[in-house]
Homo-oligomer: A and B are copies of this chain.
Amino acid sequence: MKQKTPPPRSTSHFTKKRSVKAGLPPGSLVHIGDLPPEAASISFMQYDAEQFEELQFGSVEACLDHLQQHVTGQVVWVNVEGVHNVELIRNLGEYLGLHPLVLEDLVNTIQRPKIEDYGSYLFMVLRMLKTAEQGHFSSEQLAVIITSRAVFTFQEALNGDVFDAIRSRIRAAKGRIRSMGADYLAYSLIDAVVDGYFGVLENTGEEILAIEDRLALEPDRSILQNINGIKKEIIYLRKAVWPLREALSFLERGDSELIQEGTRLFFRDVYDHTIQVIDTVETYRDLLSGMLDLYLSSISNRTNEIMKFLTLVGTIFMPLTFLVGVYGMNFKHLPELEWYYGYPILWAFMILLSVAMVIYFKRKRWL
């Protein structure tokens, strides 16, 4: 359905341009982020335990028209893909009566995960991760607006989303989702996002295992770059999940009237999942630091080993070369040269010397 962009791994991911906004008044709607390949589209779902309707809109006007006919008691989920269409966001914002700062945040895709309580609606920002080919992952921003009867989600529309299973469940009226309110829908969506983190973590875990195996066999320089690459992924994950934990803690405490008492238990569950993600991320950090130590000391070990070999060779051949040099001298009176067994005696002596050296090395545990 959507195109897959190359996975983020490079440092450039941490340095998106935001300064284009400097100097603009607050509430200015300026899209910050990568441009998705397609135009924005709006999908619409409306359901209760008995009824279910699913629509797709190309323009915001059509969607707003349909929203007017909202059947009381039904839950509405409006999913906007592509927030670069500033006009669309502005119109929707006016219809819903959103605060200008919320609109500004909607089109700015480098937000920090957060939740804000505006009384009649909750505004939440989180990052949606998707594992891509080659063990990397892609990331896009997801903004969620929760009202008493509706959930509005805004995706960057870059890498597809993780909600297909929820759509199927709504269509098939599977599980309790059709009989619950908008807060439960919001929970389901957030839960799907956090579940996506586990997939990314598993990929990262497998990469760590692979590096560990290579470390045991034959460390080369690329290992360090792999370790550093995973470190960056982990830094990215931490930036996504630490603030999310804080935001979920708000929902779990039930400070907002928009969250039913019965749904709080579910939010506590997602909250627990984020803590588990954080736990794993911190564990990976510890594992990586141990691997870095292993790698660095393996370089030291190899330098040491090569050094020992050079020393062995030098220690054996330097004295021998000196000795044969002695008997290459042209002194008139050099008695040993005249001996009949001079040459074999020297060879015997040199062999003895070499053996002694090797024994000395063995004793010193350099061999």
Contact in complex: A287, B232 (CB < 8 Å): yes
| Interface residues on chain A, size class | 35 or more
Contact in complex: B302, A304 (CB < 8 Å): yes
* Cβ–Cβ < 8 Å partners of A356 in chain B: none
Contact in complex: A290, B231 (CB < 8 Å): yes
Beyond A112-B279, A329-B327, A337-B330, is A25–B188 a contact (Cβ under 8 Å)?
A: yes
Contact in complex: B23, A280 (CB < 8 Å): no
Q: What is the copy number of this chain in the assembly?
A: 5
- State which residues 313-350 of A face B: CB under 8 Å: 313-315, 317-322, 324-343, 346
Give 3 closest A-B pairs by Cβ, nearest first: A23-B165, A15-B205, A25-B175
Can you spell out 29 A-B residue pairs with CB atoms less than 8 angstroms apart?
Answer: A11-B205, A12-B209, A14-B287, A15-B209, A19-B202, A22-B196, A22-B198, A23-B164, A23-B165, A25-B188, A101-B265, A224-B293, A231-B286, A292-B293, A299-B300, A299-B301, A299-B304, A313-B315, A313-B319, A318-B318, A320-B322, A321-B325, A324-B326, A324-B329, A325-B325, A328-B330, A330-B330, A331-B336, A333-B341
Residue numbers of A with Cβ under 8 A of B are 11-12, 14-15, 17-19, 21-28, 99, 101, 111-112, 114, 116, 162, 164-166, 169, 174-177, 187-188, 191-192, 195-196, 198-199, 201-202, 205-206, 208-209, 212, 216, 218, 221, 224-225, 228, 231-232, 235, 239, 265-266, 268-269, 272, 275-276, 279-280, 283-284, 286-287, 290-304, 306-311, 313-315, 317-322, 324-343, 346, 365-366
